[in-house]
Amino acid sequence: MLPVKSIQRIAIVAGEASGDILGAGLISELRKKYPNAVFEGIAGPLMQKEGCASLYPMESLSVMGILPILKKLPELLKMRADLARYWIDTQPDLFIGIDAPEFNIGLEKKLKDKGIKTVHYVSPSVWAWRPKRIHKIKQAVDLMLCLFPFEQDIYQHHAIDNFCVGHPLADEVPVESNKNEARDVFGLEHNKQLVCLMPGSRGSEMKLLGADFIDMAVLLRQFYPDIRFVAPMANSKRRAQFTQQLEEAKAKHQLVPEITLIDGQSRKVMAASDYIVMASGTATLEAMLVKRPTVVAYKVGAMSYRIFKKLLTIDTFAIPNLLSKKPLLPELIQDDCTPDNLFAEVRAWIGDDENNQGQRWQSVHDEFVEMHQMLKKDANVYAANSIEHWWRENGVRQQEVLNHG
């Protein structure tokens, strides 16, 4: 059998900051295996620092919600068509789509049809909603790199090559995070109960959850006069948005507790806290890894929710609950996500500490440790090794290159 051609040129597309982190780690490890490889596509600052040329700004793909996507749809479709045409003409050895499935899967299908090998990194949530997408994925993707083991079953069932590479965050976060050391970083008191508020990194999340979180803080402060609050802000826009919501709350309530706002450093802020109240998303994985009692909130626009609800095959969104297949963390979804209900769930965690010696939390904590160890695989290295192994078995062989030429 003729040898497999070495990888020399990789096309790669990431759609948002989390994909930029994954892409940068993957490029760094792939360079050790293919030192002469050229990377180009859509890349954020971290990927560009690793030498990936960006043909479009990554922010072009960072769109959430039905209406915003519809507004940008013509621009996104043109961008995807232009990239497909360019890469079909220039024939990279490999395409890697990092998350952004609505954009990348369609692009991968066009490229695969023209003989370009395709890898998708981060499984689309076909196990959660629109399960029939798996047929489109099979037509588009040669190799799927999953972050979580529960995602592999559906790919095995449909005979799609896959590896579970673990999650880079599990490699970064220590198995036990020191609370007082984290508090010292921000000058926070050691002897006060501290609640971390995380109403989301996107404007739409903050709009729907920020005021509810503040109203919940008002209720908690009335019940626990010594409790303190801290909120990491993803960027200056979210800080301004949340500050405006605080001002509006002061006009509504007699007393609004002080909430310490911190720029970024959300993981360190979580580690400094006793309890977390957060928007559903990747951050729920971080809450699991820093191992703090958490309440998860999920709320989208009414129209979006009516549409999504019809497509859902699950009734849970928090990553720890999906991993464990048990409701380890309380989730308040859509109409159930109210200040009163958020308050009640935080009180339940505090009551567990006060009345039951933390028995509920100890059980959850132990499961969090097990899941942390399960995901701790040195994901960047594992992903690069998986691609190398798969390429040796399935890559383009020299005769195909000659025939194509």
Do 70 and 46 lie in one domain? The reply is: yes
- Express each pLDDT in 150-188 by its tens digit: 889 889 999 999 999 999 899 999 999 999 999 999 999
- Is pLDDT at 313 greater than 80 in this prediction? no
Looking at the fold, whether 150 and 189 belong to one and the same domain comes out as no
Residue 72, pLDDT > 80, answer: no
Is pLDDT of 331 > 80?
Answer: yes
Q: Are residues 207 and 237 in the same domain?
A: yes
178 and 222 share a domain? yes
Contact (Cβ atoms closer than 8 angstroms) between residue 11 and residue 40 = yes
Cα 2 from Cα 4, distance rounded (Å): 7
Residue given tokens 């009335």 in the structure block: 222
Please tell me the predicted confidence (pLDDT) of residue 402: 47
Write the single-letter amino acid at 364.
Answer: V
Q: Indicate whether 115 and 105 sit together in one domain.
A: yes
Domain membership flag for residue 322? yes
pLDDT given for residue 372 in this prediction: 97
What is the C-alpha to C-alpha distance for residues 102 and 83, in angstroms, rounded to an integer?
15
Full residue range of the structural domain in which residue 48 is found? 9-166+377-404
Whether the pLDDT of residue 126 is over 90: the answer is: no
* pLDDT at residue 68 is higher than 70: no
Both 135 and 208 in one domain: the answer is no
Residue 272: what pLDDT? 98
pLDDT of residue 400: 55
Residue range 372-385, pLDDT digits in tens:
999 999 999 999 99
Q: What is the pTM assigned to this prediction?
A: 0.81
Q: Are residues 157 and 48 in the same domain?
A: yes
One domain, residues 321 and 400: no
Name the residue type at position 327.
Answer: P
User: Cα(first)–Cα(last) distance of the chain, in Å?
Assistant: 19
Residue 4 lies in a domain: no
Q: Order of strands, edge to edge, in the sheet holding 117-121?
A: 53-57, 38-43, 9-14, 94-98, 117-121, 143-146, 161-164
Q: What is the CATH number of the domain that holds 127?
A: 3.40.50.2000
Residue 239 placed within a domain = yes
Domain count, the chain: 2
pLDDT at 176: 92
Confirm if 105 and 136 have CB atoms less than 8 A apart.
yes
Indicate if 230 and 296 belong to the same structural domain.
yes
Determine, yes or no, domain membership for 3. Answer: no
Range list of H helices, 224-358 = 236-252, 266-272, 283-290, 302-311, 319-324, 339-355
- Write down the pLDDT at residue 399: 47
**Token pair for residue 300?**
């989208």
In this structure, which amino acid lies at residue 6?
S
Same domain for 176 and 160, yes or no, is no
| Measured distance CA(32)–CA(389) in Å, rounded | 14
Classify residue 355: in a domain, yes or no: yes
Q: Is residue 2 part of a domain?
A: no
Please report whether residue 81 resides in a domain: yes
What percentage of the chain has pLDDT greater than the value 90? 73
Does the residue 336 lie in any domain? yes
Q: Is 287 in the same domain as 381?
A: no
**Confidence tier at 2 by pLDDT (50, 70, 90):** low
Do 127 and 145 fall into the same domain?
Answer: yes
